[in-house]
Chains A and B, each alone.
Chain A
């Protein structure tokens, strides 16, 4: 009797599990136009299973989320290893970049296993699974949900005070090309969204240590503590360029006199300026609450 009860419970649970579970896939839809002019309407659109593109803008590597892109045009030839692309973003701006599209379709002779079949866009059409080599694509038009606003891009303004006491007013501040600061809490990597932070204070690490303790204070008053990598030691295998960028361009932006870059070892404080529109919105909310 007990066994019967058990088995019936199992059947009920199995049915529930089968009907209730689902997989999170890409919600993106796109129209892909190949080099022959054929159009393909694709759902669950991804690039190599990812929802971002690895591109180079002015020789700087950047991961561009597909949800920010409205249109993508390839301007190179099919056989090119890397092609010039034109990205039309959802906020209306246009970016010219370079993207790897060809080559590497066969693994190195010393590689065992793995291997890829080239860089591909993939998705699902009404006829079934769909994939196309990036080198065969001429244009991609992404179809985002009607009425959905594109992710807002804030331009961060901040005052950076160096360990030598110098002060720089910087606009469009980024940490290694992103609007977030990667840090370690113990041995666990976490991030701080720079748009939500009021200030970051950097303390001195012990002599010879590669990490510096930091304290970040959010606009909400919350504080987060951790450590950031601030090594100035050159690693074996590091190229001149990557060493220079790692050590001297942790934070980048635009200052009054031109492009700005500073290493993690040289920063003492970062004070962010509150976005005017956000401040106005907050004061508006407060006054509405008072009424």
Chain B
């Protein structure tokens, strides 16, 4: 009897010890900074400031700036993306965290520049010690142009859905390249007079979704004898 009681006591102690160890491990992992000094989440909001978080439907890299509504001065700007018509632009990778900026409490105007003339603006109020999430209704699309040589770079124009107003320019890429525009419906036009090419495609941009527009001949299926050992087998 006494032996069984001793057993139970020991099991209880073991369980308690295991639970403490688990909590300690979780507590250590949850810490935002590691011994190497690298942080795994957003840092703490500095004293006396509030935080503006940009939510752009999963797009973690937009060009934006913030204007103080009281003074009219620009207090912060970030431009990580190149212009849509630049021939050197491509997606260099994805950020894991949305963009954010710590600001003094007050009223601000957040302006997000897109790849067309229309920008998206939101008035916000930053409160000390708090996060303000600003939802930016933008989406993205990609134009993949291919000819007999494969994917190539060609300029194109972005119009409104009625083809009445030209809103912006773009350049396709041999790499992955997205164009960020306000949510809505547009048309893209690629014209190349010497080759007689003139393509107009509707583009539907929804928040948080990406649309790929394929222009040109579809990739030809692999011919026997091309790439792979199966073709050589009897």
Segment touching B, from A137-145, A166-174, A237-245, A272-280: A237-245
Q: How large is the interface on B (under 10, 10 to 19, 20 to 34, 35 or more residues)?
A: 35 or more
Interface 1/0s, chain A 81-119, versus B by CB < 8 A? Answer: 010000000000000000010001001101111111001
Q: Which chain A residue has the least Cβ–Cβ distance from B201? A: A108
Contact A49 B44 (CB under 8 A): no
Give Cα A157 to B156, complex, Å.
37
The answer to whether B212 touches A111 (Cβ under 8 A) is yes
- Tell whether A127 is near chain B: CB-to-CB under 8 Å: no
The answer to whether the Cβ of A17 comes within 8 Å of any Cβ in the partner chain is: yes
A48 at the interface (CB under 8 A from B): yes
Q: Which residue of A lies closest to B193 (CB)?
A: A236
Residue A3 at the B interface, CB < 8 A? Answer: yes
The listed residue with most A CB atoms (<10 A of its CB), out of B30, B44, B65, is: B30
Rounded to whole angstroms, the CA-CA distance of A108 and B212 in the bound complex is 10
Contact of A100 among B30, B133, B161, B207 (CB under 8 A): B161
Residue B99, interface by CB 8 Å: no
Q: Determine the distance from Cα of A243 to Cα of B11 in the docked complex, in whole angstroms.
A: 83
Bound Cα distance A237, B172 (Å): 14
Tell yes or no: A61 within 8 A of B by CB.
yes
Whole-angstrom distance from the CB of B51 to the nearest CB of chain A?
Answer: 8
Chain B residues within 8 Å of A188, by CB: 63, 65, 77, 79, 113
CB-based nearest A residue for B44: A13
Q: Are the CB atoms of B213 and A110 closer together than 8 Å?
A: yes
Closest to B138 in A: A49
- B45-76 to A contact mask, C-beta < 8 Å, 1/0: 00000000101000000010100000010100
Contacts known (A21-B133, A114-B205, A242-B165); A3 close to B24, Cβ less than 8 A: yes
Chain A: number of interface residues, binned into ranges: 35 or more
List residues 137-191 of chain B with CB under 8 A from any CB of chain A: 137, 139, 141, 155-157, 159-166, 169, 182-185, 189-191
- Whether A245 contacts B206 in the complex (CB less than 8 A), given A24-B133, A110-B213, A188-B63, comes out as no
B31 and A6: CB pair below 8 A? yes
**Given known contacts A4-B27, A237-B156, A238-B157, A114 and B204 CB-to-CB distance under 8 angstroms:** yes
* A291 interface contact, C-beta 8 A: no
Let me know if A25 is at the binding interface, CB within 8 A.
yes
A window 5-58: CB within 8 A of B? 6-7, 10, 13, 16-17, 20-25, 46, 48-50, 54, 56
What residues of A have a CB within 8 angstroms of the CB of B165 in the complex? 61, 242, 245
Known: A107-B204, A182-B117, A237-B190. A113 touches B185 (CB 8 A): no
CB pair B135 A23 closer than 8 Å: yes
Q: Does B39 belong to the interface (CB within 8 Å)?
A: no
Contact indicator per residue, chain B 189-227, by CB within 8 Å of chain A (1) or not (0): 111110000100111111101111111000000000000
Distance in angstroms between the alpha carbons of A56 and B163 in the assembled complex: 12
**B139 x A114 contact (CB < 8 A):** yes
Tell me the complex Cα distance, A235–B176, Å. Answer: 24
Q: Is A148 an interface residue (CB 8 A)?
A: no
A225 at the interface (CB under 8 A from B): no
> Are B164 and A59 neighbours in the complex by a CB distance under 8 Å?
yes
B218 — nearest CB in chain A belongs to which residue? A110
Residues of A within 8 A of B31 (CB): 6, 10
B91: chain A residues at CB < 8 Å are none
Chain A residues within 8 Å of B, Cβ to Cβ: 3-4, 6-7, 10, 13, 16-17, 20-25, 46, 48-50, 54, 56, 59, 61, 63, 82, 100, 104, 107-108, 110-116, 119, 176, 182, 187-191, 196, 235-239, 241-242, 245-246
Nearest 7 pairs between A and B by C-beta? A114-B211, A7-B27, A21-B131, A49-B137, A237-B191, A23-B133, A20-B130
